[in-house]
Amino acid sequence: MTKKNALMAGRRGLVMGVANERSLAWGIAKSLHEASAELAFTYQGEALGRRVRPLAESLDSDFLVEADVTSEESLDAVFAAVGERWGGLDFLVHAIAFSDKDELKGKYLNTSRENFLRTLEISCFSFTDVCRRAAALMSGGGSLLTLTYAGAERVMPHYNVMGVAKAALEASVKYLAADLGGDNIRVNAISAGPVKTLASSAIGDFRYILKWNELNAPLQRNITIEEVGGAGLYLLSDLSSGVTGEVHHVDCGYHVVGMKRVDAPDISTV
């Protein structure tokens, strides 16, 4: 893929959460590459590694490390590899979330203890964990970015425990921004509108959610991963040097809307 500008020239960053070419992290990685950043990628499991390797290679990266964010040893190995190869780190993208899909339908009320803890561990604690590890490599300052969703702010159908995890993730962004600001390390989140990906396909009635957003967002369409990429580049580069602790919405404006558009059609299932 082509490099269009030098905004991120000389900057090195770790992208966590590319599963395939539909992933939001992939949209961000493409923007970073176009801006001349050097990238490393994590993947989970060898099957995913086989899928991510050619994607990484298309962005001139041969730096792939396996990472399971529930494992201390796995994360120790990831950040040791980054330290060994690069000696430092300028930015990190965290695009990781998980919940049992059987609990992303029906009522939040019925969330099990086991899935609550697992969802919060993978979707929220993992960001704090990788921020601490990444910050230790950011002696010259840096930028850390995670992905969240409006289900943190308001009730969305079927988002359930994931909404609770994203609310905690957004609160973490603020506390981490305060902890790391003195080292010139910024911490921000993008609240993305719905996009069809592997992770989102676990959410009940997701096609309905996509259609509702398309019909009712001010821009009257859904977002693309390239638009998430543009905002990611802004938050990871010096363009946003005065911005930290922010949750930036990339959702075609859906978050400002209080009600269905009067001229939007009534939809049942799509």
Sheet holding 142-148, edge to edge: 64-66, 38-43, 12-16, 91-94, 142-148, 185-192, 247-250
CA distances from 199 to 78, 192, 214 (A): 23, 13, 19
Least distance from ligand NAP to the Cβ atom of residue 139, Å: 26
For residue 145, give the nearest of 5, 35, 28 by alpha carbon. 28
Least distance from ligand NAP to the Cβ atom of residue 44, Å: 3
Residue 208 annotated to the active site: no
Least distance from ligand NAP to the Cβ atom of residue 263, Å: 25
Nearer to ligand NAP, 177 or 192 (CB): 192
CB 193 within 8 A of CB 27: no
Q: Which residue type is seen at 16?
A: M
Nearer to ligand NAP, 123 or 244 (CB): 123
Residues with Cβ within 8 Å of residue 185, at least 6 apart in sequence: 135, 138, 141, 142, 143, 144
Least distance from ligand NAP to the Cβ atom of residue 209, Å: 8
Where on the chain is the footprint of ligand NAP (CB under 6 A)? Answer: 17-19, 23-25, 44-45, 48, 67-70, 95-98, 122, 147-149, 192, 194-195, 197-200
Nearer to ligand NAP, 44 or 160 (CB): 44
Catalytic position from the list 159, 208, 234, 254: 159
Q: Which residue type is seen at 133?
A: R
Least distance from ligand NAP to the Cβ atom of residue 49, Å: 10
Residue 175 annotated to the active site: no
For residue 213, give the nearest of 237, 199, 195 by alpha carbon. 195
Phi, psi of 29 (to 5 degrees): -60, -40
Nearer to ligand NAP, 37 or 95 (CB): 95
Catalytic position from the list 43, 108, 149, 208: 149
Indicate left, alpha or beta for 25 from its phi (over 0: left) and psi (-120 to 50: alpha): alpha
Active site residues: 149, 159
